[in-house]
Every structure is written in structure tokens, then in C-alpha cells.
């Protein structure tokens, strides 16, 4: 197990370095000069050259990448921004704050949003899927299945403002979505994120309902499930102890893949509710062609996905003894 | 002042034609009389700033600022906006958005005072008056008022002012204006940083003298009669030597104004509280009614519009510096009489236009034909009508510039949809009845539509139009080179201070043509260059204004641009606030007269 | 569901009748394509301590019959008729709770592929133990001890460690032994073994069959052995039931059916099977044609499209009328040919072979 983890993490680091190199080259190869963003309206050529030097952009691309990489471990100094202690991912071109601290600062928001939504998605999706599978062909199944189709066709930027209008503005049932640190007030953290969680989960939940249902139906037809019934296990035991285990494996697989999509959904959700998360950073970075921020967000996002996939793989081993972590 | 949109500002090159004309709506919004919105309680917007800009006297410069009727002290004012302020270090500020908030904690030698009628006067802010010059604008003397203090109670001295200018030469201060820097070194033709490297290595700038604690004398390398306007730019705001944290100063500047920064969390919030060391008697411009300001960022125009309409909770006491009414909600707001009572409208200093590359289209009749055939009205309709775009422009200078004169050489207001027949006649005189023109545009869905309209209108007049889509991210890099291969391309401009020198010279002085310079039309007419020099030398502001208006006419006679809009602003604020005004100099909401209704 | 009342024979208050009695069983599945008549009018009996071999091709209804005994069919899509008596308990009309108490306890089942039939997510010990806990109310510890004991009994070495292993850590034969251990953990009266050796190689097959026999002798369990392999039946069963298209084709003791097969289908089965005492160069003769569609079974005798002699019993009989097994008891078959005709044809056939 330990050696497995060491190998996986090493592999993940290699992947991250490759991703960062590719992203670095892609971003910095755009045919425009970020230095102009730091230059007044009427920009003198010598000022432009000075800025390039300040930003370290007067060096060959691979040297720039090397500095960037070294900065992560050793920190850097920028004339334009001042010192940037390790781990340094550079300074944002748009907000002039260290990229790393900007990301760290916003990470809890996106983490709360994504984890909370994951819980809602898995809990609700699996629950309704199980109910549908339990009552296959019956009205409850049909309600669950058709509402999942409706859910899947909804869009965050449509549902979000709509629910906000009714639940927050009109009925004032819940507070306006914002981020309250869980360490500050867990209840406020919960109530203020409730709407974003629900909105972000809606489309995904529907998918998991459908998946759980079909997986359960499939598992219920498996030989070992029949064996369990032949042993005299009650339908409930068969359903929850045997079939559920089998159905969870493909669902976990899909969830591992969906994590990336979920992060994407978090971006839209953050935009919709003005939450100051990584997603907002990413969108702003794109709008402003803020290369260091884009690079930082990309790397942190990739790292998060890689890490979560390792977690998913470890979870696998717990659910399915046939998977050995060696 | 700098272009209106933060998007433009934070990244010059990102400023894409469409981003401004259209996405710019998200920022710029609309104002003025809505077309076809009959029955609303709207007063038509006038192009009135013209004669209303003046240079004030020492009496005008004396504090305190006249009371706002009904205003009371106390309470917290909220501000919600899309973006955090990109810079707060005065030396790094060029943008209206950053300048608006800086007014609460950064003071400059001179500044603009607005009266109830909307007239603008340049007055002394830190200085007792708007400065004096005895040699036509080469030497400028400013005297500081009594009782000026920093937020820690130490006095603001002439040495502080000198230092504030010296530090602008430092290598990390690159974003702000560089007029004064260029004029304060011995040789204006050579890069200023080669002649002075800033105060951090202990060297001083000899061209600024401080004979005593109250007096600052600037020795410029040439005559600049409107230098007193120059120093009104936030970029020349005061920074105390003792508190200069260099790069870090950008996040938390030291206050000379009525408020001081309590906390600034980048991209999230800025909290201000009263600066007890600010003396209202020294300040002819600012009020400080609220006890506190709480500003939040990351809120899109659509959301601020909804929140202002809902007017619930703390949003009652909220305004926005920059966010305009979201274009899709404009009609709804116009129809909402209650909301209209808390709306702000006005003409911003920002103008947009289509550059005609005079280096490629050398025949003046062809250029005139382009303007004559131009489908201004169709373009405005595609953009969502006047309220979302602006008033159709016919001049180079905006009505917000001192000396502006309204004229319409090509009858664009009479026939805004274009006059193909008249254009054909002009082409016939040119000898090329069917010239080919290359129109380069920013490839966005709306710009695609605009391009279709332009192509159609010009084709009707006999042009052959080749449309070249450009990438939004690299638009300016593409049109920047002097030898670019395009004939017509969109652009935008706002004067750095409301006189013709920055409204006209950077764009139309033919001697300044280089790659990536703002002279995108590459117009180089000796008479105009001469006239610019003459206008720059006129010391009387009103006389200078007339001279600049005449140059404006000359440029339009040369048919170097197709003017597009004088951009308008249309925004909302909460019902619990009073004194929320439009700032015509910055083109957005102003914080300095705001009070909480009690 | 129809309940046919028996006159004369066992009756509702059953005296000392057979241990298991299946009467006129029919099973129909509704599918998207129509109704599948998987079992049609099947009757057979089974005594304690004996083994009944049910033989037939795939789709002949042998597995379905046994799933019906355990009530493991999908109730939403299945219609069952007839009666199944286990001593004095009728199973078709029994409630869910009754069936759950019965399964794994009095009646146990062994499936064909022990790899898919065992849960991959639970240890062998747990899978065995949970049956014991369910039916005998044993504690975890008792269940585990019982699992070890059962594993030992079915011949798994080091049962104390193997009990904690997962099925994928067992070999095929070991898995089937574990499966048998699981089936026998509650000392069932009836064990249904559905092709228990098909997935195993020949040596292991023999071991498993021996194990079953041994256990039967020890505990007097009645066994239904479902197989398509007459060889397996020959060595293990007391009685044989040959099924074709959901119906009984022939029934009798192993000796009767294998020595003097009467139904042409049984002949086909026998001649498609290699024998040790026949010469190697005699080609095997499989039954020609393919099994009939149960969606749309042939008219008359279901075997007639594949039968070589459908006209011998008369010009129309085999084509129009469905034969039932006769005589009622003892060695019987469902064919219109007379005993003499069959004897003649059979003699001629075996001569060809020899």
C-alpha cells in the first residue's frame, strides 16, 4: 500500500511537471505581449523593455520555465511586484498578488463547494437511483427516472439565478450565497452554501440517479446476487449488501472522471453566485489573459484532479478486494 | 483619464473592439434618451459639458466643500462591483475605476470640483490654487494649504510632494502616466529613466524645488500651459516617503484623504474608515458623511442590477462605482419609475471610432466616402440602441473635453443609416469609383453582425470590402504596426485630462507615429501638427479650448476617422443613499458626496 | 396460477408421499418478443437420500424448473402454474418469508460457475457464515467456526486461513468446494446442483461428484443434479429425467434409461456421447437440427422437427398431438411409437454403432 502510494504520487508529480511545461509553452507562446498590461496608455518602447525585464520575459522561454519551476521551491524576486516567497507560482498580472496565496486564499471556497456538492450528488443520486431500482417499473421508479432526465437538462446559469430570485430575494428562506469559513461559523457556512450546492448538484445528481438505477438493475441480475437469494438472504440484504457493492464500483469510476467536470461546474456556480473561489480566479485569468494565474490555476486544478483520482483508486481497493494496490 | 473599461485598462491589448463596444456595455452601459422607450420619465441627455469646464480660483479652492442638502454624517456605505481595484499606488493608476476610489484616500495638487449644475472646475486640492506660471507654462509653482496631514497626523510637506514625483521614475512604476516624468528630465527626447532612476538610491530630482515646507516649484523642459490639469491625474497623487512600501504600497496606500484603508483583501473586499486627521476645511471637493465604506468585488453587472432592483438589506445602502445596468435589464429599469429615481446617467469621456488608415487610403475623397456611406444607425441598433452604446458621435473630441464644439461635416446625424448616393459622388471625384477596402475586426458574434452591416452599406456605395477577422486577445497587436495591412479598424480613446492636448495630440500628431502608438490612423498633416504646437502653447484655457476645437474640425475634414459613439453611463444605487452623483471626469458613480439617509 | 387438485394420489393432506413432488409445473416468461413457455406440464418425484439427474440441452427448462422450486424467478415477468410439494409444504403458493426461511436452509443450491456465483466483495468465510447466522441464529464466532468446519468437510486444506480469503484467491475446484460448503452449511434436505461440474476440468469434476455422493451418504440429502452430460448422471444419479423443450421426454432409473432408452431424443443424446467401450473411429452422432424456439413451440410433439421417425407413428399424429409420458409410473417416455418399434429401431442403431 505504501509503495503503491509512493509510486502513484511520483507518477502524479511527473504528470504535473509535463502539464505545467506544456501549459507554460502554450500560454506564453500566444502572439501578444503581456508587458503591455503594465504600461501606461501611451507606452514608450523603453518602458515596455523595462517591464519585460522586470517580469523576466526577456529571456528564452525554457529559461523562463526553469525560473518558474525553481520559484516553486526556492521563491523568486520580481522588480515589478517585489519578493515572492516559496512556493512561488509568480504574481498575477491582473491583480498583482502572489498567485499561490490567491489560490490558497480561495481554495476553501471551491473545496467547500465541490465537496459539499459531491456529498449531495452521491447521497441524493445514489439514494434516488436505489429507490428507482428497488421499485423498478413502478410509479416511484418512473418519477425518479423522469425527474432525473429533467434535472440533467437544466443548466446552472439558468437554475441558479432563478432559485436565488425565489428562495433568497422573494421568499427570503435562505441567505444570499456567500462563503463563511467553516472555522468561523459552521452553521452559516452550511446555510450560505446550501443553494450553490443544490444548484451545482442538480445536473450531476440526475446522472447518478440514472447510473445507480441501471447499475443496480444490472447487478441484481448477476449470478452472485442470485446466489445470495438462493441462500435465503432477505431482499433488503441482497439489495443493500450485495448488489450495492457491485454497483458502486462503476459509479466510483465515473465519479473519478466527473470530478474534473465538477470543478468545471464549480466555475460556473461561483460565477453565478459571486463566490470568490478558484473558478472565479480562472475565469478572470482567462478574461485578462493573466498568464501566471492561468498557469497556477491550471496546475493546482490538475494536481487536485490527480490527487482525487488517487483517492478514488484507493477507495476502489476498499470496495473491491480484487483490486490490489501493489 | 484612461479608457473606461477595466478590461481595457488591466490589459491594454485585451481591449478588443468588441469588448468595448459590446462587452463594454456590461461596463459602460447606456444612458441618455432611449430610442423608442416612449413614455418613460427620461430627460434627454445633453452634450453639455462643453463650456462647463473651467479653471477655478483660489477662492474656489478653499474648503470645506459646500454641504449637500439633507446630508447627515454616519452609517456605512456599501459598494458592489465586478472588479477589485487593479492599483491603489497612485503612481500606478491610470484607470478611472482606480481613480474614483482613490479620491477617498489620495489627494493631488489639483482636482476637479463639480457644482450642483454639473459644471466642472479645476481647483487646488492640496494646493491653495491651481498653480501659477509666469513663463507660459515652463515653470509651475504650487503652494500647499495649511493643516494638511497624513493619516498618522504628520504634516504633508512640499518634500512629500517632491518625493511623490521622484518615485515615479522607479523601475517598478510603469503603469501610470508619464507626462510629468518626460517633462521633468533635462532632455524630453531621451528616455526619462536614463536621466534619473528614482529616489531609492538616495538621488534627488533637481528640477523640483522645495524652497520651504509649503512651496513646490516644477521646472519643465518645455512649455505646458495645462500642467495644472496634468497634476490632477491620480497618477500624481501624494505618497509619503516614510510610508513608502514600494511594490506593496499598491495594496495599501497611506491616506491623505478623508478615509483610510482598514483592510484590503485582493479581489474580495476593501474596508475604509474615517481618517480623523483629514481636515474638511482644507478640502474644497470631498465630503465624508459615512463613517465607513465596505466594498465588495466579483459581482457581475447582471447581479448588481438585480440586487439594486431588489433593494433589500444592506443593498439599500449600496452603490457601484463602475457596474452599469446589465444591457438585458435596461428596458425593465427604464420602465420602473421607482428604480429610475435612484439611477445615474451621464456622458463618459470615452469615445469610440473607426480608424481609417490614411497611409493606405491616401485619397481623401475615398475616406470621405467611407464616412458618408457608414451605417452608424445600423451598428447602433445591433449594439442594442443608444442606451446600450452611446450617442452617435461626429467629432474627435468628446463633449466632456474643454472647448468641444458640435459639428457634423458629413451629415451623419441627418442620415445616420448612411448615404450611398452621396458616397458614390465622392468616389467618382476620387478617380477610383470602386476601391477595395480591408476592414479588420474583432471576431465576436456581435462584431460579425456589425461587419455584415458595414460591408452591406459600403458595397452599396460602390466599395469592395474585404473583411479580416482578428483574434480578440491580439487585436491591438495586429493593428499596432505602422505598416499593417488593414484600411479600417475600430478604436477607442479617452482624454487623460479634459483638454485637447490629451484628447487629440497622442492620436493625431503625425510626428509621434511609431509601431503600437495611439496614432492608428497614421495621419500626418503638417498644418495639423503645427496647429497642435500652437494650441499647446496657449495659456488661457478657454482660448486653448477654441484652438483644439478648430483642430478637431481639421482632422474631421481630413476624414481620418469615422466617429462612432460618445459613450454613456447608466447605473443604479440603493434607496437608502443620498448624494450619489455621476462623475463626468471619470464617467462613473462618485463616492465623495454620498450619505446614508437617516 | 392454477391449482390442480389431486384425486386419489397424494392429496392436500399428504401422507407418506414422495419427499419432493412436482406436479404439472408450467413456467412462462413474458418478454418483449412474446411469451416464452419455458416449462410445460412437468411432473416428477424425488425421494429422500436419492439423486435425480435432470438432463437436457440448454433451454430445455431444467434450470428454470429448479429456480421455480426455490422461487428465484423474477415475479414481475413470470407466470407459474402447477404445484411443488416439499413434504407437506406447497412452494408455489408460499409467501416470501417462508421461501426465504427455506432457501439455504432446507433447500440449497449450487450453481454452475462458482466464480460469478460467489460474491467477489466478501470473504468465503463470511459468505458461508452468513447463511448459518441467518437460519440458525448463530453468533459471528459460531458462524466462522462453522465455516471452517464446512471448508474442512469439503476438503479445503488449511481452512482456518482460507476462510478469510476472497473467491478470486481460490482455484476453480476450490471455489466449487466452497460453494458446496456454503450450500450444505445448514444441512439441507434437498440440494439442487445446477451443472456443478461444467466449469471444471475433468479430474476436479470427479472429485466434486464424489464429494456430493459422500455427503449424500452421510446426511441423506436428496439431490437434483442438473446436467447436459449423461456421463455425469450415469455415475451419480439414481433416477433420470430427460427434458426437451420444457417437457419431460423420458423418465426412469439410471439403469432403465441408459440401458434401454426409449425416446428418440434420448437415443440422440446417448449417441452424441463418447463411450469408453466403443471404438475410437466411430464418429459421434449429434442430434441434428437445433433446439426449438420456446417463444413459438412446434405443434404436436416438440421433438418432431428433429426426429428421424415422425411418420412411423402414423401420418399426422406426431405433427398434431402432444404426447405425454406413459406409463404414469416407472420407466416412461413421451413418444407415440410403440415399444416394439422403439426396440427395433434401437437395436438397428446400436448395431450400426458397434
Cα of A95 to nearest chain B Cα, Å = 5
To the nearest whole percent, how much of chain C has pLDDT over 70? 91
Q: Does the CB of C102 have a partner CB in chain A at under 8 Å? A: yes
Under the banding of pLDDT at 50, 70 and 90, the label for residue C284 is low
Under the banding of pLDDT at 50, 70 and 90, the label for residue B453 is very high
| In contact, B379 and B449? CB cutoff 8 Å | no
B43 pLDDT higher than 70: no
Q: Does the CB of A280 have a partner CB in chain B at under 8 Å? A: yes
Instruction: Sort out which chain A residues have CB atoms less than 8 A from B326's CB and list them.
Output: none
Q: Does the CB of B184 have a partner CB in chain A at under 8 Å? A: no
When comparing pLDDT for A41 and B102, which is higher?
B102
Instruction: Sort out which chain A residues have CB atoms less than 8 A from C72's CB and list them.
Output: 226, 229-230
| In contact, A50 and B171? CB cutoff 8 Å | yes
Q: Does the CB of A66 have a partner CB in chain B at under 8 Å? A: no
| Positions of chain A with pLDDT lower than 50, given as ranges | none
Q: Does the CB of B352 have a partner CB in chain A at under 8 Å? A: no
Contact B477 A33 (CB under 8 A): yes
| In contact, B493 and B330? CB cutoff 8 Å | no
Contact B298 A289 (CB under 8 A): no
DSSP assigned state of B123: E
B173 pLDDT higher than 90: yes
Contact A242 C104 (CB under 8 A): no
The mean per-residue pLDDT over the stretch B287-308 comes to: 93
* Mutation for C interface: A133, A225, A230, most C CBs within 10 A: A230
Q: Does the CB of A100 have a partner CB in chain B at under 8 Å? A: no
Which range has the worst mean pLDDT, B71-80, B85-94, C338-347? Answer: C338-347
B162 pLDDT higher than 70: yes
Cα of C245 to nearest chain A Cα, Å = 24
DSSP β-ladder status, B292-296 and B269-274: antiparallel
Strands (E) in A30-188, as ranges, are 76-78, 82-84
List the single residue in A137, A229, A232 with the smallest CB-CB distance to C135: A232
Residues 6+ apart with CB under 8 A from A16: A299, A302, A303, A306
- State residue C276's pLDDT score: 60
Using H for helix, E for strand and C for coil, what is the string for A154-222? CCHHHHHHHHHHHHHHHCCCCCCCCCCCCCCCHHHHHHHHHHHHHHHHHHHHHHHHHHHHHHHHHHHCC
> Which of residues 157 through 176 in chain C touch A, CB cutoff 8 A?
166, 168
Under the banding of pLDDT at 50, 70 and 90, the label for residue B317 is very high
Nearest Cα residue to B95 out of B479, B588, B593, B565? B588
Which one of A208-222, B51-65, B526-540 scores highest in mean pLDDT?
B526-540
Contact B174 A39 (CB under 8 A): yes
List the single residue in C100, C119, C168 with the smallest CB-CB distance to A232: C100
Which one of A92-96, B230-234, B496-500, B515-519 scores highest in mean pLDDT?
B230-234
Cα of A161 to nearest chain B Cα, Å = 9
Which range has the worst mean pLDDT, A34-48, B290-304, C40-54? Answer: A34-48
Q: For residues B127 and B158, give the distance between their C-alpha atoms in angstroms, rounded to a whole number.
A: 10
| In contact, B170 and B151? CB cutoff 8 Å | no
DSSP string for B183-235: HHSS-TTS-GGGT---GGGS---TTEEEEETTEEEEE-SS--TTHHHHTTSGG
Number of neighbours of residue C199 by Cβ within 10 angstroms? 19
Which range has the worst mean pLDDT, B26-40, B539-553, C240-254? Answer: B26-40
Using H for helix, E for strand and C for coil, what is the string for B310-363? HCCHHHHHEECCCCCCCHHHHHHHHCCHHHHHCEEEEEEEEEEEEEECCCCCCC
pTM, whole model, 2 decimals?
A: 0.71
> pLDDT of C164-189, one tens digit each?
999 989 988 888 889 988 988 888 89
Nearest Cα residue to C251 out of C319, C325, C151? C325
Sign of CA dihedral B297, B301, B304, B307: negative
Q: Does the CB of A223 have a partner CB in chain C at under 8 Å? A: yes
List the single residue in B13, B14, B299 with the smallest CB-CB distance to A274: B299
Interface predicted TM-score (ipTM) over 0.90: no
Contact B172 A81 (CB under 8 A): yes
Q: Does the CB of A241 have a partner CB in chain B at under 8 Å? A: no
Which range has the worst mean pLDDT, B6-15, B80-89, B499-508? Answer: B6-15
The mean per-residue pLDDT over the stretch C269-292 comes to: 71
List the single residue in C131, C166, C168 with the smallest CB-CB distance to A231: C131
List the single residue in C72, C96, C116 with the smallest CB-CB distance to A230: C72
- State residue A324's pLDDT score: 67
B231 pLDDT higher than 90: yes
DSSP assigned state of A243: I
Q: Does the CB of C95 have a partner CB in chain A at under 8 Å? A: no
- State residue C279's pLDDT score: 60
When comparing pLDDT for B269 and C290, which is higher?
B269
B256 pLDDT higher than 90: yes
Q: Quick one: C130 exposed, middle or buried, by C-beta within 10 A (0-12, 13-18, 19+)?
A: buried
- State residue B555's pLDDT score: 97
Instruction: Sort out which chain A residues have CB atoms less than 8 A from B87's CB and list them.
Output: 96
When comparing pLDDT for B429 and A172, which is higher?
B429
When comparing pLDDT for B399 and B115, which is higher?
B399
The mean per-residue pLDDT over the stretch B516-526 comes to: 92
Contact A224 C116 (CB under 8 A): yes
Under the banding of pLDDT at 50, 70 and 90, the label for residue C289 is confident
Q: Does the CB of B303 have a partner CB in chain A at under 8 Å? A: yes
> Which chains reach chain B with 3 or more Cβ–Cβ distances below 8 angstroms?
A
- State residue B228's pLDDT score: 94
Q: Does the CB of C118 have a partner CB in chain A at under 8 Å? A: yes
| In contact, B355 and B482? CB cutoff 8 Å | no
Q: Closest residue of B to A99, CA-based?
A: B266
> Which of residues 154 through 183 in chain A touch B, CB cutoff 8 A?
161, 165, 169, 172
- State residue A220's pLDDT score: 86
Contact B11 A93 (CB under 8 A): yes
- State residue B30's pLDDT score: 33
The mean per-residue pLDDT over the stretch C6-34 comes to: 70
Q: Does the CB of B246 have a partner CB in chain A at under 8 Å? A: yes
| In contact, C129 and C140? CB cutoff 8 Å | yes
Instruction: Sort out which chain A residues have CB atoms less than 8 A from C108's CB and list them.
Output: 230-231
The mean per-residue pLDDT over the stretch C188-212 comes to: 84
B22 pLDDT higher than 60: no
Instruction: Sort out which chain A residues have CB atoms less than 8 A from C113's CB and list them.
Output: 223
* Mutation for A interface: C29, C108, C119, most A CBs within 10 A: C119
CA-to-CA dists, residue B275 to A55, B113, B149, B255, B580, angstroms: 36, 21, 10, 8, 21
> pLDDT of A170-219, one tens digit each?
787 888 888 888 888 999 999 999 999 988 888 788 888 888 888 998 88
Contact C101 A231 (CB under 8 A): no
Instruction: Specify the residue for cell string 445596468.
Output: B325
The mean per-residue pLDDT over the stretch B266-280 comes to: 94
Nearest Cα residue to C263 out of C314, C324, C316? C324
- State residue B52's pLDDT score: 66
To the nearest whole percent, how much of chain C has pLDDT over 90? 19
Contact A40 B251 (CB under 8 A): no
List the single residue in C102, C105, C118 with the smallest CB-CB distance to A224: C118
Chain-centroid distance, C-alpha A91 = 23
Amino acid at each position: 500500500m505504501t509503495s503503491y502510494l509512493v509510486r502513484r504520487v511520483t507518477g502524479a508529480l511527473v504528470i504535473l511537471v509535463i502539464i505545467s511545461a506544456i501549459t507554460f509553452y502554450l500560454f506564453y507562446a500566444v502572439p501578444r505581449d503581456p508587458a503591455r498590461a503594465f504600461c501606461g496608455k501611451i507606452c514608450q518602447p523603453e518602458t515596455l523593455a523595462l517591464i519585460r525585464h522586470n517580469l523576466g520575459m526577456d529571456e528564452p522561454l525554457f529559461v523562463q520555465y526553469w525560473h518558474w519551476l525553481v520559484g516553486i521551491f526556492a521563491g523568486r524576486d520580481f522588480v515589478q511586484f517585489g519578493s515572492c516567497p516559496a512556493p512561488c507560482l509568480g504574481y498575477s498580472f491582473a491583480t498583482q498578488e502572489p498567485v499561490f496565496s490567491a489560490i490558497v486564499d480561495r481554495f476553501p471556497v471551491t473545496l467547500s463547494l465541490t465537496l459539499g456538492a459531491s456529498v449531495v450528488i452521491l447521497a441524493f443520486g445514489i439514494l434516488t437511483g436505489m429507490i428507482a431500482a428497488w421499485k423498478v417499473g413502478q410509479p416511484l421508479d418512473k418519477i425518479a427516472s423522469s425527474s432525473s432526465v429533467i434535472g440533467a437538462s437544466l443548466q446552472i446559469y439558468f437554475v441558479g439565478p432563478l432559485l436565488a430570485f425565489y428562495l433568497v430575494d422573494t421568499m427570503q428562506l435562505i441567505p444570499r450565497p456567500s462563503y463563511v469559513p467553516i472555522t468561523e461559523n459552521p452553521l452559516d457556512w452550511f446555510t450560505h452554501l446550501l443553494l450553490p450546492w443544490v444548484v451545482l448538484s442538480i445536473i450531476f445528481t440526475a446522472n447518478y440517479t440514472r447510473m445507480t438505477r441501471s447499475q443496480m438493475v444490472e447487478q441484481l441480475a448477476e449470478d452472485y446476487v442470485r446466489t445470495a437469494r438462493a441462500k435465503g438472504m432477505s431482499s433488503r440484504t441482497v439489495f443493500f449488501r450485495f448488489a450495492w457493492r457491485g454497483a458502486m464500483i462503476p459509479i466510483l469510476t465515473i465519479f473519478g472522471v466527473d470530478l474534473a467536470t465538477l470543478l468545471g461546474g464549480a466555475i460556473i456556480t461561483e460565477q453565478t453566485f459571486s463566490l470568490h473561489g478558484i473558478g472565479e480566479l480562472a475565469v478572470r485569468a482567462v478574461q485578462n489573459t493573466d498568464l501566471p494565474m492561468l498557469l497556477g490555476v491550471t496546475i493546482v486544478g490538475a494536481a487536485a484532479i490527480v490527487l482525487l483520482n488517487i483517492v478514488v483508486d484507493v477507495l476502489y481497493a476498499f470496495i473491491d478486494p480484487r483490486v490490489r494496490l501493489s | 483619464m484612461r479608457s473606461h473599461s477595466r478590461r481595457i485598462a488591466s490589459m491594454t491589448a485585451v481591449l478588443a473592439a468588441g469588448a468595448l463596444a459590446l462587452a463594454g456595455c456590461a461596463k459602460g452601459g447606456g444612458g441618455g434618451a432611449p430610442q423608442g422607450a416612449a413614455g418613460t420619465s427620461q430627460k434627454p441627455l445633453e452634450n453639455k459639458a462643453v463650456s462647463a469646464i473651467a479653471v477655478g480660483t483660489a477662492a474656489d479652492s478653499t474648503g470645506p466643500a459646500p454641504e449637500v442638502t439633507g446630508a447627515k454624517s454616519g452609517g456605512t456605505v456599501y459598494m458592489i462591483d465586478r472588479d477589485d481595484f487593479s492599483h491603489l499606488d497612485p503612481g500606478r493608476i491610470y484607470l478611472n475605476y482606480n481613480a474614483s476610489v482613490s479620491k477617498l484616500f489620495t489627494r493631488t495638487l489639483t482636482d476637479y470640483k463639480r457644482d450642483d449644475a454639473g459644471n466642472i472646475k479645476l481647483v487646488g486640492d492640496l494646493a491653495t490654487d491651481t498653480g501659477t506660471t509666469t513663463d507660459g507654462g515652463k515653470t509651475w509653482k504650487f503652494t500647499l494649504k495649511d493643516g494638511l496631514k497624513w493619516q498618522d497626523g504628520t504634516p504633508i510637506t512640499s518634500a512629500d510632494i517632491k518625493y511623490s514625483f521622484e518615485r515615479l521614475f522607479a523601475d517598478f512604476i510603469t503603469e501610470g502616466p508619464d507626462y510629468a516624468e518626460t517633462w521633468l528630465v533635462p532632455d524630453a527626447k531621451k528616455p526619462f529613466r536614463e536621466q534619473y532612476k528614482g529616489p531609492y538610491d538616495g538621488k534627488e530630482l533637481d528640477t523640483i524645488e522645495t524652497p520651504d515646507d509649503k512651496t513646490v516649484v516644477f521646472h519643465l523642459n518645455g512649455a505646458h500651459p495645462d500642467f495644472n490639469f496634468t497634476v490632477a491625474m491620480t497618477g500624481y497623487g501624494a505618497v509619503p516617503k516614510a510610508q513608502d512600501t514600494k511594490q506593496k504600497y499598491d495594496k495599501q496606500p497611506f491616506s491623505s484623504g478623508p478615509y483610510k484603508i482598514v483592510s484590503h483583501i485582493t479581489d474580495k473586499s476593501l474596508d475604509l474608515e474615517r481618517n480623523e486627521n483629514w481636515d474638511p476645511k482644507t478640502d474644497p471637493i470631498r465630503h465624508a458623511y459615512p463613517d465607513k465604506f465596505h466594498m465588495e468585488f466579483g459581482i457581475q453587472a447582471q447581479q448588481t442590477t438585480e440586487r439594486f432592483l431588489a433593494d433589500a438589506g444592506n443593498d439599500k445602502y449600496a452603490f457601484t462605482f463602475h457596474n452599469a445596468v446589465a444591457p438585458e435589464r435596461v428596458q425593465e429599469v427604464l420602465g420602473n419609475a421607482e428604480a429610475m429615481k435612484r439611477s445615474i446617467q451621464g456622458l463618459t469621456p470615452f469615445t469610440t471610432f473607426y480608424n481609417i488608415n490614411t497611409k493606405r487610403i491616401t485619397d481623401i475623397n475615398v475616406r470621405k466616402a467611407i464616412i458618408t456611406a457608414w451605417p452608424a444607425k445600423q451598428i447602433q441598433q445591433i449594439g442594442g440602441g443608444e442606451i446600450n452604446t452611446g450617442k452617435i458621435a461626429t467629432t474627435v473630441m468628446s463633449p466632456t473635453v474643454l472647448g468641444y464644439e458640435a459639428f457634423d461635416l458629413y451629415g451623419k446625424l441627418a442620415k445616420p443609416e448612411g448615404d450611398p448616393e452621396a458616397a458614390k459622388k465622392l468616389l467618382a471625384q476620387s478617380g477610383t469609383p470602386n476601391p477595395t477596402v480591408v476592414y479588420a475586426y474583432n471576431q465576436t458574434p456581435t462584431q460579425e453582425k456589425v461587419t455584415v452591416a458595414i460591408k452591406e452599406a459600403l458595397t452599396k456605395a460602390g466599395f469592395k470590402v474585404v473583411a479580416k477577422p482578428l483574434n480578440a486577445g491580439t487585436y491591438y497587436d495586429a493593428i499596432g504596426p505602422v505598416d499593417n495591412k488593414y484600411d479600417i479598424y475600430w478604436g477607442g480613446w479617452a482624454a487623460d485630462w479634459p483638454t485637447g492636448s490629451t484628447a487629440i495630440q497622442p492620436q493625431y500628431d503625425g510626428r509621434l507615429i511609431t509601431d503600437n502608438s495611439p496614432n492608428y490612423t497614421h495621419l500626418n498633416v503638417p498644418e495639423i501638427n503645427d496647429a497642435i504646437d500652437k494650441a499647446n502653447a496657449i495659456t488661457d484655457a478657454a482660448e486653448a479650448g477654441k484652438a483644439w476645437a478648430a483642430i478637431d474640425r481639421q482632422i474631421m475634414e481630413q476624414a481620418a476617422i469615422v466617429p462612432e459613439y460618445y459613450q454613456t453611463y447608466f447605473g443604479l444605487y440603493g434607496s437608502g443613499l443620498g448624494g450619489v452623483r455621476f462623475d463626468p471626469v471619470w464617467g462613473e458613480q462618485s463616492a465623495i458626496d454620498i450619505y446614508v439617509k437617516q | 396460477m392454477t391449482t390442480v387438485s389431486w384425486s386419489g394420489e397424494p392429496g392436500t393432506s399428504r401422507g407418506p408421499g414422495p419427499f419432493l413432488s412436482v406436479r404439472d409445473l408450467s413456467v412462462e416468461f413474458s418478454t418483449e418478443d412474446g411469451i416464452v413457455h419455458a416449462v410445460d406440464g412437468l411432473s416428477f418425484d424425488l425421494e429422500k437420500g436419492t439423486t435425480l439427474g435432470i438432463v437436457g440441452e440448454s433451454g430445455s427448462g431444467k434450470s428454470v424448473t429448479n429456480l421455480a422450486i426455490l422461487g428465484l424467478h423474477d415475479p414481475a415477468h413470470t407466470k407459474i402454474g402447477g404445484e411443488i410439494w416439499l413434504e407437506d409444504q406447497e412452494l408455489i403458493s408460499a409467501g416470501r418469508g417462508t421461501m426465504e426461511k427455506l432457501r439455504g436452509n432446507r433447500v440449497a443450491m449450487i450453481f454452475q460457475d462458482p466464480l460469478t456465483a460467489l460474491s467477489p466483495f466478501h470473504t468465503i468465510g463470511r459468505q458461508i457464515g452468513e447463511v448459518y447466522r441467518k437460519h440458525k441464529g448463530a453468533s459471528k464466532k459460531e458462524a466462522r467456526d462453522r465455516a471452517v468446519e464446512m471448508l474442512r468437510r469439503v476438503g479445503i486444506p488449511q481452512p482456518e486461513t482460507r476462510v478469510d480469503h476472497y473467491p478470486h484467491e481460490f482455484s476453480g475446484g476450490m471455489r466449487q468446494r466452497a460453494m458446496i460448503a456454503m450450500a450444505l452449511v445448514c444441512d439441507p434436505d434437498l440440494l439442487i446442483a445446477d451443472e456443478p461440474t461444467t466449469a471444471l476440468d475433468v479430474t476436479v469434476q470427479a472429485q466434486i461428484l464424489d464429494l456430493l455422493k459422500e455427503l449424500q451418504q452421510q446426511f441423506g440429502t436428496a439431490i437434483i443434479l442438473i446436467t447436459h452430460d449423461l456421463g455425469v448422471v450415469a455415475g451419480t444419479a439414481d433416477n433420470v429425467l430427460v427434458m426437451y423443450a420444457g417437457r419431460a421426454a423420458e423418465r426412469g432409473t439410471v439403469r432403465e434409461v441408459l440401458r434401454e432408452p426409449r425416446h428418440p431424443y434420448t437415443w440422440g443424446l446417448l449417441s452424441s456421447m463418447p463411450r469408453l467401450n466403443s471404438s475410437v473411429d466411430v464418429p459421434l452422432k449429434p442430434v441434428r437440427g437445433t433446439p426449438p424456439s420456446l417463444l413459438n413451440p412446434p405443434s404436436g410433439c416438440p421433438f418432431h422437427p428433429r426426429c428421424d421417425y415422425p411418420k412411423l407413428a402414423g401420418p399426422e399424429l406426431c405433427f398434431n398431438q402432444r404426447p405425454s409420458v406413459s406409463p404414469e409410473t416407472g420407466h416412461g417416455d413421451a413418444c407415440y411409437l410403440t415399444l416394439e418399434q422403439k426396440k427395433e429401431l434401437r437395436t438397428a442403431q446400436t448395431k450400426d454403432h458397434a
